[in-house]
Amino acid sequence: MKLRKCDGCNNYTFKQTCPKCGKETVNPAPPRYSPEDKYGSLRRKFKESAAPNNLNKL
């Protein structure tokens, strides 16, 4: 089961309707620019710089 969010009171619940206000809950959409992507590219850069091929050039 996925965690859902109430738009009315920002309550997080596993239920289809918010137990607090009775409003229908929504599946929170992932942000368009997620910080994970940023760290992902940083990780990739770090991996590249730490690759054996680059180490040989140092």
Residues lying near Zn ion in the complex (CB under 5 A) are found at 6, 8-9, 11, 18, 20-21, 23
Rounded CA gap, 17 and 54, in Å? 54
Beta carbon of residue 29, minimum distance to Zn ion (angstroms, whole number) = 18
Beta carbon of residue 6, minimum distance to Zn ion (angstroms, whole number) = 3
The one-letter amino acid code at 36 reads E
Kindly tell me which of 28 and 40 has the beta carbon lying closer to Zn ion: 28
Kindly tell me which of 8 and 40 has the beta carbon lying closer to Zn ion: 8
- Give the C-alpha distances (Å, rounded to integers) separating 4 from 14, 20, 28, 32: 6, 13, 6, 18
